[in-house]
Structure 1
């Protein structure tokens, strides 16, 4: 992406598309340029909300070692099957607030957040699922705990890129992307905004409601020692 603040996404590369029964949270074709820009071959890329492993597929294609963490055992199993074709990738089952990753061992954190207000059937906050947190303040508190761990595992000078949209939940606007940046800024130095644009039909006639055909990339950098 370089110094451009936005990029138009045309869709997933067919070589990396998953089955239609699974809705990918992120495209490999969306993640590869970010990995190439913010890390180097041989680096370690960590996704604390790894889902079905798209970040790890992108890491493998770009010559990086990927570590993915996902709370759902079912998704971890499916991700590991998917990743069997890609070397040097590690998929773990666990809570993003307690990642079993050593201090300052990660060169890039790249993730798509589990969005508030989109709880899948059967999800429970008791098992650590962010989706299932019904109170927004509780969700942001959990996000704060996860970002503290992001800072812990990042080496000084390394970046985190968090992909996130603002939301509408029960008809009300929820500034999730902007609150995500605010929480992340407690731990990392924020960069300028970046935006991914999607081709999507326009919404209705209410001027306060858009089709949200864009996603923010919240970029932060861990300060160097003594900075």
Structure 2
């Protein structure tokens, strides 16, 4: 992979495509089987030989085959038991023994320790042929509500984040979709969702060779011959010390009581003698006063802080029992120079527990 922001992909050679007899055994004809060529550059660039590449939407094992061809291990999770077995058989024909669990995150268990997550997300709004039976229960394809679909994606990638090592990459292939002549910004919504869990690093535009046709005047549709590869990393993003101190002073001046603890408090006391890397957040302990806590949240919201509970957007009022269930609420803001302020708000009673 080089520095170009786009990749032009060529179809897989016959030896890497899904065999026709396996495709015929899939009740949907393997219509959403991805390309090995799509995954190989990312396997090669974002993992090392011998490391494990994980796909939480394993499908026909395309990512795992790409991993093996690049000298990596692979494992996956697939909700459809029939497809999981087809993937295993496909891989066995290549002499590959990669574990594939049946189910879905966050409930299923990832089969082994992982180093890279590389996947193509199931698309919202797929229409299944009515004469070919129903897909497996719980399929993201089947979600009737877009907000619920995104919520489930957030839960899945939250589990991925927990399994990745520090500085590991999570790369998701996704395209904006058109439903009833209206574009649904799935790629951009997924990017925002993943941005609450990881640090956004880059993107690549994947281009597929498809025949073009002339359009009549004012027609808007395209041949949908591209996809985004969104590159995220599980890493500590350092906050701006000066901007954070300024925000904390403004909170105090507004009359809100809090106690600093954790890495930011230690940094203020010891500087870089204890840790060469600046802290990733400032931890605040607040009194167990629901009304006052929500006054602070309103104050932060009015100053354009983004509020979230484990990556899920939150708006005041927030009940304290909900806060306790999530342990902390995150408030963060980034200015035009990229300086980050990130505050993690917890209750004093939780620290004492």
Confirm or deny: 8 A CA contact 2:175 2:227 kept in the other structure: yes
C-alpha separation between the residues in 2 aligned to 1:73 and 1:119?
20
Q: 1:89 aligns with which of 91, 98, 102?
A: 98
SS of equivalent residue, structure 1 residue 89: coil
What is the RMSD of the two structures over their aligned residues, measured on CA atoms? 1.9
Q: Of 158, 165, 170, which aligns to 2:168?
A: 158
Match for residue 233 of structure 2?
Answer: 221
* 8 Å CA contact 1:106, 1:155 repeated in 2: yes
Q: Is the 8 A contact 2:123 2:141 kept in 1?
A: yes
Partner of 1:8: 8
SS in 2 for 1:193: strand
Alignment of 1:82-161 (within 5 A): 82-84=90-92, 85-101=94-110, 105-121=113-129, 122-123=134-135, 127-161=137-171
CA–CA distance in 1 between the matches of 2:235 and 2:127? 34
Question: Relative to structure 2, which stretch is displaced further, 21-30 or 167-176?
Answer: 21-30
Q: 2:84 aligns with which of 76, 81, 84?
A: 76
Q: Post-superposition shift, 1:86?
A: 3.2
Q: Which residue of 2 aligns with 1:195?
A: 205
- CA offset digits 1:104-163 (Å, max 9, x no partner): x32100000110001434136xx3210000111111111111110111111110101100
Q: 1:102 Cα deviation (Å)?
A: 7.7
Q: Determine which structure has greater relative contact order: mean sequence separation of CA pairs < 8 Å that are 6+ residues apart, divided by chain length.
A: 1
- Whether the 8 Å contact between 1:25 and 1:112 is mirrored in structure 2 is no
For the Cα contact (< 8 Å) 2:175–2:228, is it kept in 1? yes
Deviation at 1:22?
2.2
8 Å contact from structure 2 (residues 121, 173) kept in 1:
yes
Q: Where do 5+ consecutive residues of structure 2 fail to align?
A: 24-28, 238-278, 281-353
| Cα shift at 1:208 | 3.0
Counterpart Cα distance in 2 of 1:193 and 1:102: 28
Looking at structure 2, the residues matched to 144 and 48 of structure 1 have their Cα atoms a distance apart, in angstroms, of: 13
Which is richer in helix? 2
In structure 1, the gaps of 5 or more residues are none
- Please identify the structure whose Cα radius of gyration is greater: 2
Question: Mean Cα displacement is larger for which, 144-153 or 83-92?
Answer: 83-92
Deviations 1:45-76 (CA, angstroms, capped at 9, x unpaired)? 10000100001111111111111110001101
Q: Partner of 1:178 in structure 2?
A: 188
Contact 1:164 1:216 in 2 (8 A): yes
Residue number among 185, 210, 214 corresponding to 2:222 in the alignment: 210
Aligned residue pairs, count: 224
> In 1, Cα distance between the equivalents of 2:126 and 2:235?
33
Task: From the superposition, tell whether residues 55 and 102 of structure 1 become closer, same or farther in structure 2 (CA, over 3 Å).
Answer: closer
Which range moves more in the overlay, 217-226 or 64-73? Answer: 217-226
Take 1:98 and 1:86, find their aligned partners in 2: how far apart are those partners? 29
* Matches of 1:155 and 1:55, distance apart in 2: 19
Question: 1:52 matched to which residue of 2?
Answer: 60
Cα distance in 2 between the residues matched to 1:119 and 1:69: 22
> Secondary structure, in 3 states, of the residue corresponding to 1:7?
strand
CA contact (8 A) 1:193 1:219 kept: yes
Most deviating of 158-167 and 87-96: 87-96
